[in-house]
Structure 1
Amino acid sequence: LRRGEILVVTGHAAAYAAMPFRVATPLGSVQALGTRFSTRLDADSVRVALFEGAVRIMPDQAAGAGLVLDAGQTARQTAAQVTATGPVAASDTAWLRGEIAADNMPLSQFLAELSRYRPGLISCDERAGQLRISGLFPLADTDRVLAALGRMLPVQISRRTSYWVRVSAVQ
């Protein structure tokens, strides 16, 4: 995985036991153990959400210090370590349904997530970025989501072009 997020579904067939399925990332690997899971590569870590079965997560720089994750759990991996981070959340599967799920999320983080699904640049000032947002937002029309932000929060949406959007806190 070089960028983005992937959903993997593998089987339990004995014939494939000698050929493990692995997702390799720049920070390590995730090995399927008959399972359904997602792997997301962020700037400095890999996030794994396990929906069924089990996975073995191995960081590149820590031989033998991996983690076997159980169904319903998530983990964050760096090149040096793996840390269990808690149960699977609605936001872990929302992208599979074409949605972003936000639960008291900073607006800066929400806009970074939204920008993954549209061309160009979305930026915000520091005050706007600190505002919090909750809800379920469709990814099919990101312009509609941006317009909704302008109605939900005290922000102004400025478009220099269709590829350059700036969100600013209202003074």
Structure 2
Amino acid sequence: VGSAGWIGRDLMGWQRWTADLATATGERRNIQLPDGTRLQLNTDSAVDLSFDPQQRLITLLRGEILVNCGAVSPTPLLVKTRHGLFEGIDGRFTVRQERDCTRLSVVSGNVAIHSPHTAGGLSTQAHSGQDYLVDQTQAVVAPPPDMDAGAWADGLIITRGMRLEDFLAEVGRYRQGYLGCSTDVGDLRLSGVFRLEDTDTLLAILPKTLPVQVRYRTRWWVSLERST
């Protein structure tokens, strides 16, 4: 592993130890905040919290969260990432921070996106069913996702015509080690409801619907190849 890989690994460990709330790989947490807001952390995620009479701020350090807004308050409910500030007005929404952008998915209700790059400092209003990608230059409407944004909170991945390679990348977030596929099966499409509590059982189901076989080189190195 190169020095950059070790630095990244050390940083992730440091965030878990120093964050107010964090999850390990494969873990999810459900917390009720002082104002009644329900906060759920997805796998390998970390947040800091600043809740007092002056502010209600969730800083997403890494990973993904689902926010279910609590009681109406004169103090805005804010989620901060490297790429922008998201104000939960009502309803439920997920915020997922990637390396180059943050993805907002509004499950229900409305969210205001406050970005330093928005012309005139105006906010963008995101409504129920909308997805936005926010990066260092802009906030744009994202194409409809090929999986349900908040299904992970119920321990599920729900897909609609999702590429197998992308599906495995998503499942890989919930397990240690390498999970991938050969290039000749990466574009196969997958639709269905899959449970996350046992990813090995999940993988064992795939050959029943796709022309693939699951190969375990070790417990931590798993690949899918075209069946023979």
In which range does the TM-score fall when normalised by the shorter chain?
A: 0.7 to 0.9
Q: What residue is the counterpart of 1:92 in the other structure?
A: 149
Q: Determine the structure 2 residue equivalent to 1:153.
A: 210
**Correspondence for 1:21 among 47, 59, 77:** 77
Aligned residue identity for 1:47: R
Q: Does the 8 A contact of 1:21 with 1:31 survive in 2?
A: yes
- 1:33 counterpart SS class: strand
Deviation at 1:134, TM superposition (A): 0.9
1-structure distance, mates of 2:90, 2:103? 19
Determine which structure has greater relative contact order: mean sequence separation of CA pairs < 8 Å that are 6+ residues apart, divided by chain length: 1
User: What are the ranges of 5 or more consecutive residues in structure 2 without an aligned counterpart?
Assistant: 1-59
Q: How many residues align?
A: 168
- Residues 67-95 of structure 1: per-residue CA shift (max 9 Å, x gap): 11123322222221112236788612211
Contact 1:48 1:76 in 2 (8 A): yes
Deviates most, 22-31 or 77-86: 77-86
Please state if 1:50 is matched with 2:106.
yes
Say whether 1:8 aligns with 2:67: yes
Q: Please, what is the CA RMSD of the aligned residues?
A: 2.2
**Identity of matched residues, %:** 37
Following the alignment from structure 1 to structure 2, what is the Cα–Cα distance between the partners of residues 36 and 2?
20
1:11-160 pair list within 5 angstroms: 11-13=70-72, 16-17=73-74, 19-62=75-118, 64=121, 66-85=123-142, 91-160=148-217
Write the distance in 1 (CA, Å) between the matches of 2:99 and 2:122. 22
Asked if the contact 1:51–1:88 (Cα under 8 Å) also holds between the matched residues in 2, the reply is: no
Length-normalised TM-score, structure 1:
0.86
Return the letter of the residue paired with 1:141.
D
- Hey, what's the Cα distance between the residues in 1 that align with 2:164 and 2:118? 35
Q: Look up the equivalent residue of 2:197 and give its one-letter code.
A: A
Question: Residue type of the partner of 1:109?
Answer: D
CA contact (8 A) 2:146 2:161 kept: no
In structure 2, the CA distance between the partners of 1:145 and 1:55, relative to structure 1 (3 Å rule), is same
In 1: Cα distance, 2:78 partner to 2:122 partner: 17
Show structure 1 runs of 5+ residues with no match.
none
Report the TM-score, using the length of structure 2 for normalisation: 0.66
